[in-house]
């Protein structure tokens, strides 16, 4: 997958998932009139849906002309999946780069080929440690660490995602990457299963954490559950499921959307006069005092409309980077 978990085909068995959806996927036979609607939808993805299937269902419900997600979840994983509709897709990168918070369920004593429950069992070893030893092992995974991405991921090698090689039994050498674990909390441990709360930077793979932790403890381990609780400033508590979304009227669904500029609220705001707004909208850079080269800015017209994002160029001018369509 694009972010922390890797992308693979297949779903989790019915008996192993507490949250599954019965929402039907959109049919190509159902012709709909699409509309130019924009916004950010905080979706609570259930197990059994690929992120793309969830995206396509939401796009169909909103009759949106275009849609995209901001980092995917494995089919067995649940939790927060922010989706962008229309013009909001232009700013999805801001969430792809955001920190994330997960609750991870890990099973010790069994190592799998993928690091999670979808893989083949490759080793079984006895589990012989207590909560204190587990806490001690967790310490080495806190802070800035080097992590080798798993083979079952969407990272590219020779133009192909690694998971395609993994499906063929081909192992590709991967370089370790520097990632940050801001917080790693042991919530529970019963001797074979542990629940962890993980707050990490972009590029962190929770499946790799499970596998590495199992090897550090000498027994092997794999991920059996993953719930994404937070992406950047967005929380799972504010998300809505596809099942609930399906039951709403179109007006009620539209009310669930956050405006496109919500993705850029961390950037300094610049309110433009009519002349500057016209210049930006026509691709021209504008000068403002106190700007710093490389700085990103969110821009607004005199009437308060969000215009898009500018980047300060080498001349110290705010140059258009991503603009909202005026059509």
7 within domain boundaries: no
- Report the distance separating Cα 207 and Cα 320, nearest Å: 39
Indicate which CATH number applies to the domain containing 299: 2.30.130.10
Per the structure block, which two tokens stand in for 64?
């949106």
**Percentage of residues of the chain with pLDDT beyond 70:** 90
Asked which of 64-78, 262-276, 290-304 is least confident by mean pLDDT, the reply is 64-78
Residue 2 lies in a domain: no
Q: Please state, in angstroms and rounded to a whole number, the distance separating the CA atoms of residues 39 and 58.
A: 12
Structural domains in the chain (count): 3
Say how far apart CA 327 and CA 325 lie, in whole Å.
5
Number of Cβ within 10 Å of residue 36's Cβ equals 13
Asked whether 324 and 294 are in contact (CB, 8 A), the reply is no
Q: Is the pLDDT of residue 242 over 80?
A: yes
Are 138 and 217 in the same domain? Answer: yes
Quick one: 32 and 70 in the same domain? yes
Query: Do residue 105 and residue 89 come from a single domain?
Result: no
CA 245 to mean position of chain CA atoms: 20
**Residue 113 and residue 221 share a domain:** yes
- Same domain? 145 vs 89: no
Per-residue pLDDT at 8: 38
Q: Are 76 and 6 in contact (CB under 8 A)?
A: no
Which of 74, 116, 118, 227 does the annotation list as catalytic?
74
In a domain, 4, yes or no: no
Extract the tokens encoding 224.
Answer: 């059996």
Per the listing, tokens 């992406």 go with: 231
**DSSP structure class, residue 116:** B
Distance CA 213, CA 137 (A): 7
Position 5 in a domain: no
In angstroms, the CA 13 to CA 2 distance is 23
How much is the pLDDT for 35?
92
Which pLDDT does position 72 carry in this prediction? Answer: 85
Whether the per-residue pLDDT at 243 is higher than 90: the answer is: yes
Calculate Rg over the CA atoms of the chain.
Answer: 22
Q: Is 74 a catalytic residue?
A: yes
Cβ atoms of residues 295 and 268 within 8 Å: yes
The DSSP letter of residue 141 is G
d(CA 58, CA 63): 8
The rounded distance, in Å, linking the Cα atoms of 130 and 231 is 32
Instruction: Return d(Cα 103, Cα 278) in angstroms, integer.
Output: 47
Residue 217 belongs to a domain: yes
pLDDT tier, 9 (very low <50, low <70, confident <90, very high otherwise): very low
- Find the domain containing 311 and state its range: 267-323
Which tens digit of pLDDT belongs to each residue from 183-220? 999 999 999 999 999 999 999 999 999 999 999 999 99
Share of the chain above pLDDT 90, in %: 72
Are 117 and 222 part of one and the same domain? yes
- Within this chain, do residues 216 and 240 fall inside the same structural domain, yes or no? no
Within this chain, do residues 306 and 286 fall inside the same structural domain, yes or no? yes
Q: Residue 76: is its pLDDT beyond 50?
A: yes
Q: Find out whether 154 and 2 touch, Cβ atoms under 8 Å.
A: yes
Same structural domain, 282 and 317: yes
Please give the Cα distance from 297 to 109 (Å, whole number). Answer: 50
């Amino acid at each position: 997958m694009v972010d922390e978990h890797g992308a693979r085909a297949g779903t989790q068995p019915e008996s192993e998932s507490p949250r599954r959806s019965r929402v039907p996927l959109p049919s190509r036979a159902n012709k709909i009139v699409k509309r130019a609607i924009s916004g950010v939808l905080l979706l609570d993805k259930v197990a059994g849906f690929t992120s793309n299937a969830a995206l396509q269902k939401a796009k169909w419900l909103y009759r949106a002309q275009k849609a995209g997600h901001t980092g995917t979840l494995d089919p067995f994983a649940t939790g927060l999946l922010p989706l962008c509709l229309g013009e909001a897709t232009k700013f999805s990168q801001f969430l792809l780069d955001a920190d994330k918070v997960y609750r991870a369920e890990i099973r010790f004593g069994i190592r799998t080929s993928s690091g999670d429950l979808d893989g083949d069992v490759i080793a079984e070893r006895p589990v012989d440690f207590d909560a204190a030893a587990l806490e001690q092992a967790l310490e080495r995974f806190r802070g800035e660490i080097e992590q080798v991405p798993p083979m079952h991921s969407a990272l590219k090698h020779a133009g192909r995602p690694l998971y395609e090689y993994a499906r063929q039994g081909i192992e590709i050498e991967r370089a370790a990457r520097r990632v940050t674990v801001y917080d790693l909390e042991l919530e529970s441990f019963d001797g074979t299963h542990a629940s962890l709360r993980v707050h990490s930077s972009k590029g962190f793979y929770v499946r790799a954490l499970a596998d590495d932790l199992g090897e550090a403890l000498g027994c092997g381990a794999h991920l059996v559950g993953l719930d994404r609780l937070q992406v950047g400033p967005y929380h799972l508590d504010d998300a809505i499921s596809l099942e609930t979304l399906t039951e709403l009227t179109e007006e009620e669904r539209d009310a669930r959307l956050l405006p496109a500029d919500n993705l850029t609220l961390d950037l300094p705001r610049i309110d433009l006069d009519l002349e500057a707004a016209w210049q930006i909208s026509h691709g021209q850079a504008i000068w403002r005092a106190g700007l710093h080269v490389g700085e990103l800015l969110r821009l607004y017209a005199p009437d308060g409309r969000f215009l898009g994002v500018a980047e300060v160029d080498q001349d110290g001018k705010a140059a258009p980077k991503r603009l909202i369509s005026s059509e």
